[in-house]
A and B are shown apart, each in its own frame.
Chain A
Amino acid sequence: NAGVTQTPKFQVLKTGQSMTLQCAQDMNHEYMSWYRQDPGMGLRLIHYSVGAGITDQGEVPNGYNVSRSTTEDFPLRLLSAAPSQTSVYFCASSYSRDSSSPLHFGNGTRLTVT
């Protein structure tokens, strides 16, 4: 099992550019989510999905879109990158949406927007 795979590991964008951060899991997990990690802020939830075709907003959704066409994949799209989106992004999944299932994290994507 590869677990949760995120690509790319690093990315530099110019302001206004768009891009997609990829996330895939091979554990047949129902729940998937995206977090951003900023210094001194902990992890904040951007978007989440409780199953294929179902997504919802988290704490900091502005500037990001997601979709969940398959159980395995949960890409995060930056529509028009801004310097405030410079961050480390983590994708996480769990067997169910229930908190009895702990999150499994990918290795993160470090994004810099200039």
Chain B
Amino acid sequence: AQKVTQVQTEISVVEKEDVTLDCVYETRDTTYYLFWYKQPPSGELVFLIRRNSFDEQNEISGRYSWNFQKSTSSFNFTITASQVVDSAVYFCALSSGGSNYKLTFGKGTLLTVNP
């Protein structure tokens, strides 16, 4: 069985602070994909990033960065200089065996960025 644990249920920060959302996963497969999705207050789900199990390179996209560490089974998401528009629920997800119907979502982290 596979499992995704999002360590923080809720985080509240003040604008311009850096914030890290932690995601820990469990799987027995050697091939898997990890994802982050964003759900802003308007409700839609937006894909942010995908990583496969063979690529441990960290990634940076503007103010967003992702740290993938197989040794600790973690795929953490950092927002630098947070903004009010970053307020959302963020979901980490794991797909073992490479199939979308085996996609397991974490329960989400509610990030509130206060002005």
**B43 A101 Cβ-Cβ under 8 A:** no
Known: A42-B91, A45-B103. A98 touches B98 (CB 8 A): yes
Other A-B pairs, 9, CB within 8 Å; known A99-B103, A101-B100? A31-B101, A42-B106, A56-B101, A88-B43, A99-B100, A102-B35, A104-B47, A105-B37, A105-B45
As a 0/1 sequence over residues 49 to 89 of chain B, the CB contacts with chain A under 8 angstroms (1 = contact) are: 01010000000000000000000000000000000000000
Interface size for B (C-beta < 8 A) is 24
Tell me whether A108 is interfacial, beta carbon within 8 Å.
yes
Known contacts A40-B107, A42-B106, A99-B95; A58 and B44 CB within 8 A of each other = no
Verify B99–A98 contact, CB threshold 8 A.
yes
Chain B residues within CB distance 8 Å of chain A: 4, 32-33, 35, 37, 43-47, 50, 52, 91, 95, 98-103, 105-108
